[in-house]
Structure 1
Amino acid sequence: MKISEVTVQDLMSYAREENDDPEVIKEFNTILVACKAYIRGYTGLSDEQMDTKEDLTIALMVLTNEMYVNRIFTVKDDKVNKVVKSILDMHSINYL
């Protein structure tokens, strides 16, 4: 599945969130946008380039779930989730 194909419903299913509350859906939509921006910024890839790296989809799902469940960003004690970091590092073209 390409990142551009991931829907809010996909992310809610991954998070095992079955709530149809409009506020929850709105929160997942906001998180989806933020996580795509994070991946784009971290890797330096365009949206089109991100779509060619299907393993980035799992990074998106993990990031989204972590952000929803913990209500915090993915950095905890100055450490990024190792699985997400390794996937994003494989595709990073930002060398700064």
Structure 2
Amino acid sequence: MKVSEISIEHIAEYLRLDDYTDGELAPLLESARAFIRSYTGLTDEEIDTHEDFYIAVMVLCQDMYDNRCMYVDKNNLNKAVDTILGMHCVNLL
């Protein structure tokens, strides 16, 4: 699945939430997408060419939801997410 196709409902299902609001999950989804853009240096169109980013988005959203924080600390990044994103980085400066 492309990152652009991930919806609030996908996030809620992954988090196993029955009671949620779009306003609660939309920022998580956008933050995960923004983090991936920043981390890899890829555009939205380039991100959509890598289906393995689906799990990275889900794990990032779960981490932000579980910790109730709206940021991701690169020093404590999930190893699977770090590996997936690292394989596609173009901004290795």
Same fold (TM over 0.5): yes
Quote the residue 2:55 is aligned against. Answer: 58
Tell me by how many angstroms 1:89 deviates. Answer: 0.1
Tell me by how many angstroms 1:75 deviates. Answer: 2.7
Question: How far apart, in 1, do the equivalents of 2:56 and 2:77 lie?
Answer: 12
Quote the residue 1:67 is aligned against. Answer: 64
Quote the residue 1:84 is aligned against. Answer: 81
> Any conservation in 2 of the 1:75–1:81 contact (CA below 8 Å)?
no
Quote the residue 1:49 is aligned against. Answer: 46
CA deviations 1:31-90 (Å, max 9, x no partner) are: 1111100000000011010000000011001100110111134438x3211110000000
Identity, % of aligned positions = 43
Question: How far apart, in 1, do the equivalents of 2:57 and 2:26 lie?
Answer: 13
- Which of structure 1's runs of 4+ aligned residues deviate more than 6 A? none
Q: Could you tell me which runs of 5 or more consecutive residues in structure 2 were left unpaired when the two chains were aligned.
A: none
Q: Which has the higher strand share?
A: 1
Question: How far apart, in 2, do the equivalents of 1:44 and 1:91 lie?
Answer: 9
TM-score by length of 2: 0.91
RMSD: 1.4
Q: Does 1:28 align with 2:28?
A: no
TM-score by length of 1: 0.88
Tell me by how many angstroms 1:27 deviates. Answer: 1.7
